[in-house]
């Protein structure tokens, strides 16, 4: 890829060849006079639209492109390939004249279920029997209470939703600027919803454990008439005309939307168009991302719970950093229409909360099919917060808990699992090239935001490092289509492998970034649960992650609740 600055370079098409030659647009210096002398006669595009003569393809073009595709052709093979390549490039150009909105999904749809494999289909919600005692006198104690407690106080009418909503709105106004976690306060909508919740509960129409609970939405969920910016400068004034499906589901559950929370631009990192979201336990440290605002706001007691999304760690990573509890559901369990698409076969929506039970309660409300999301599945959810986990089998690899990448806190999580009565079973994963799966993520993400690359609006994004999206999107245009297809085939092998590993166990436990589990399970669609396991010497939290069977989030949460009780660190608050 060219290292020339935009001021001295122009757009042109380059080709990468791997059996099929793919045209990719990037910033590149114009062809030399020698190369122009070698070019073949120019062919017209369909409907008379002309190609750029300066972008002609030569044998030299192919020879250089082969280096990017890791292939090598002979001189004669290059000459033969040139015969129809311009027609192929013209097709690419013609396709780009037809706009593809972010909400247009590919015709191919990923399904995490393997042929012939059944999944659990029970529907059940049993809340914990804990009474939570009387309502605290302190607004701060109320603010940091888990949803499981808030819901009991609201149900018993010891607490009104309007009071709770005002507590959170005040904290969002006071602490949101410090954390840089709030994009938009939705005060008018929130107070209207809270008053309705109080009226309904007073009349005996209690909708369930989220009724009257204030929550915050990652700023990629559409909200009608309210800015949804995707964290990115090019979209900072974007205002949708309808709510995302998960927003509608939470409305139906009686939850109260108090804020749109920050996210790393286009779902990567913790840098958004107006700054960097900060870790409430260490303000000079970013909150990680991309569900940066939801994790920071939840850990800081600014909302009752929040919703985030994950493609590759965007729930796990900020929950690790901020000490929140994050549940990434099975791919397809939660409908995604009205949510910004990054990777159609990887994106998942999940709750970020203060406790594990809260995650189960929120997932219960947002679970279900979505007719506008072709990948959504109708699979019931079973969650029993009072279930005993004694005797459940949890897989682990001892190597995950050894060496410099593992810590004493990770090992404390493993010991807590033993104390909880879980049976720990040693497993190993094959030594495969799992990095291959990154090809799928990169290609889908670059496709979702092709308009930014081709229009040069990628330069408007605040984060412009080599690892940031603008550069990554440009690099990805040099991935051959064949490599994408082969990565999908490799993905099928990984799905079969991990399904076999889950055949004799109920879950896995590991440090959150152990091995390639984050990449593997995001690619196979398996759920995960990240919760605090302790605090480092600098008083920042650390988490540990459980990995579950497809559509068995109930068991995952039951195991998580047992670990949470043994570890005893979920109640510690940041001192901002």
Claim to verify: residue 396 and residue 524 sit in the same structural domain: yes
Say if 495 falls within a structural domain: yes
Q: Quote the DSSP letter at residue 215.
A: E
Q: Are residues 266 and 339 in the same domain?
A: yes
Among the three residues 98, 114, 146, which one is the final residue of a domain in this structure? 98
Provide the pairing of β-strand 214-218 with 256-261: parallel
**Phi and psi for 180 in degrees, rounded to 5?**
50, 50
The DSSP 8-state label assigned to residue 7 in this structure reads G
Residue 379 lies in a domain: yes
For residues 343 and 391, membership in a common domain is answered with: yes
CATH of the domain at 405: 3.90.1300.10
Name the domain boundary from 80, 98, 116: 98
- pLDDT at 198 (0 to 100): 98
Question: Is the same domain home to 158 and 23?
Answer: no
Q: How far is 398 from 277, CA to CA, in rounded Å?
A: 35
Q: Say if 203 falls within a structural domain.
A: yes
CA angle 24/30/35 to nearest 5° reads 95
Closest CA to 294 of 221, 357, 240: 221
The model's pTM is 0.90
Active-site amino acid positions: 218, 290, 314
pLDDT digits (tens, 9 = 90+) for 521-561: 999 999 999 999 999 999 999 999 999 999 999 999 999 99
Residue range(s) defining the domain that contains residue 38: 1-98
338 and 246 in a common domain? yes
Is 454 a domain residue?
no
Residue 411 lies in a domain: yes
pLDDT digit string, tens, across residues 464-502 = 999 999 999 999 999 999 999 999 999 999 999 999 999
Same domain, 197 and 281: yes
Q: What is the pLDDT of residues 550-575, one digit of tens each?
A: 999 999 999 999 999 999 999 999 99
Answer yes or no: do 427 and 497 share one domain.
Answer: yes
Which helix (H) or strand (E) is 305 found in, with range? Answer: strand 305-310
What is the distance between the alpha carbons of residues 219 and 307, in angstroms, rounded to a whole number?
10
Number of domains present in the structure of the chain: 2
What HEC string does 335-388 produce? CCCCECCCCCCCCEEEEEECCHHHHHHHHHHHCECCCCCCCCCCCCCEEECCCC
Does residue 393 belong to any structural domain of this protein? yes
In a domain, 75, yes or no: yes
Same domain for 205 and 323, yes or no, is: yes
**Strand-pair partners of 473:** none
Asked if 275 and 182 touch (Cβ cutoff 8 Å), the reply is no
Cα 288 to the center of its chain, rounded Å = 12
pLDDT digits (tens, 9 = 90+) for 115-165: 988 777 789 999 998 889 999 999 999 999 999 999 999 999 999 999 999
The enclosing H or E element of 425 equals: strand 423-426
In whole angstroms, what separates CA 132 from the centre of its chain? 32
165 lies in the same domain as 35 = no
Under 8 Å between Cβ of 259 and 228:
no
> Is residue 67 domain-shared with residue 179, that is, in the same domain?
no
Question: Does some domain include residue 438?
Answer: no
Residues 151 and 228 in one domain: yes
User: Whose CA is closest to 179, among 317, 279, 301?
Assistant: 279
Residue 129 and residue 200 in one domain: yes
| Residues 557, 360 contacting (CB under 8 angstroms) | yes
């Amino acid at each position: 890829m060219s290292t020339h600055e935009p001021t001295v370079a122009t757009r042109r098409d380059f080709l990468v060849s791997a059996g099929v030659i793919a045209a990719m647009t990037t910033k590149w210096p114009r062809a030399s006079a020698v190369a122009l002398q070698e070019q073949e006669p120019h062919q017209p595009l369909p409907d008379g639209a002309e190609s750029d003569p300066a972008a002609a393809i030569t044998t030299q073009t192919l020879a250089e492109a082969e280096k990017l595709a890791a292939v090598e052709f002979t001189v004669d093979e290059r000459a033969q390939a040139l015969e129809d390549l311009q027609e192929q490039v013209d097709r690419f150009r013609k396709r780009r004249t037809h706009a593809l909105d972010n909400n247009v999904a590919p015709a191919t749809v990923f399904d995490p279920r393997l042929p012939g494999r059944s999944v659990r289909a029970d529907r059940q919600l049993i809340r914990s029997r804990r009474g939570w005692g009387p309502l605290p006198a302190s607004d701060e104690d109320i603010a940091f209470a888990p949803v499981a407690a808030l819901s009991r106080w609201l149900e018993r009418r010891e607490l009104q939703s309007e009071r709770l909503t005002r507590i959170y709105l005040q904290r969002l106004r006071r602490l949101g600027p410090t954390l840089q976690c709030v994009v938009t306060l939705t005060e008018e909508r929130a107070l209207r919803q809270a008053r309705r919740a109080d009226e309904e509960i007073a009349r005996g129409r209690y909708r369930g454990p989220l009724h009257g609970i204030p929550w915050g939405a990652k700023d990629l969920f559409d909200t009608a008439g309210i800015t949804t910016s995707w964290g990115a400068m090019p979209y900072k004034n974007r205002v949708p005309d309808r709510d995302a499906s998960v927003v509608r589901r939470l409305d139906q559950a009686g939850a109260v939307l108090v804020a749109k929370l920050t996210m790393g631009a286009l779902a990567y990192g913790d840098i958004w168009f107006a700054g960097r979201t900060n870790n409430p336990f260490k303000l000079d440290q970013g909150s990680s991302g991309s569900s940066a605002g939801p994790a920071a706001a939840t850990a800081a007691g600014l909302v009752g719970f929040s919703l985030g999304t994950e493609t590759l760690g965007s729930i796990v990573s900020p929950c690790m950093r901020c000490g929140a509890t994050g549940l990434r559901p099975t791919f397809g369990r939660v409908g995604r229409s009205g949510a910004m698409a990054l990777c159609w076969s990887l994106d998942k929506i999940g709750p970020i909360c203060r406790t594990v039970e809260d995650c189960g309660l929120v997932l219960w409300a947002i679970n279900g099919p979505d007719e506008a999301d072709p990948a959504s599945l109708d699979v019931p959810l079973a969650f029993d917060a009072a279930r005993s986990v004694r005797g459940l089998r949890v897989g682990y690899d001892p190597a995950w808990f050894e060496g410099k990448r593992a810590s004493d806190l990770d090992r404390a999580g493993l010991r807590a699992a033993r104390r909880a009565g879980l049976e720990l079973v040693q497993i190993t994963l094959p030594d495969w090239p799992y990095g291959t799966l990154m090809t799928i993520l990169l290609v889908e993400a670059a496709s979702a935001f092709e308009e930014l690359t081709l229009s040069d609006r990628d330069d408007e994004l605040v984060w412009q490092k080599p690892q940031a999206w603008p550069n990554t999107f440009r690099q990805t245009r040099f991935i051959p289509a064949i490599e994408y297809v082969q990565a999908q085939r490799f993905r099928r092998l990984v799905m079969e492998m991990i399904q076999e590993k889950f055949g004799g166990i109920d879950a896995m436990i590991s440090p959150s970034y152990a091995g390639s589990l984050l990449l593997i399970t995001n690619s196979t669609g398996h759920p995960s649960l990240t919760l605090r396991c302790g605090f480092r010497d600098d008083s920042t939290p650390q988490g540990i992650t459980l990995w579950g069977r497809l559509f068995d989030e109930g068991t995952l949460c039951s195991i998580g609740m047992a670990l949470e009780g043994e570890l005893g660190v979920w109640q510690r608050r940041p001192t901002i």
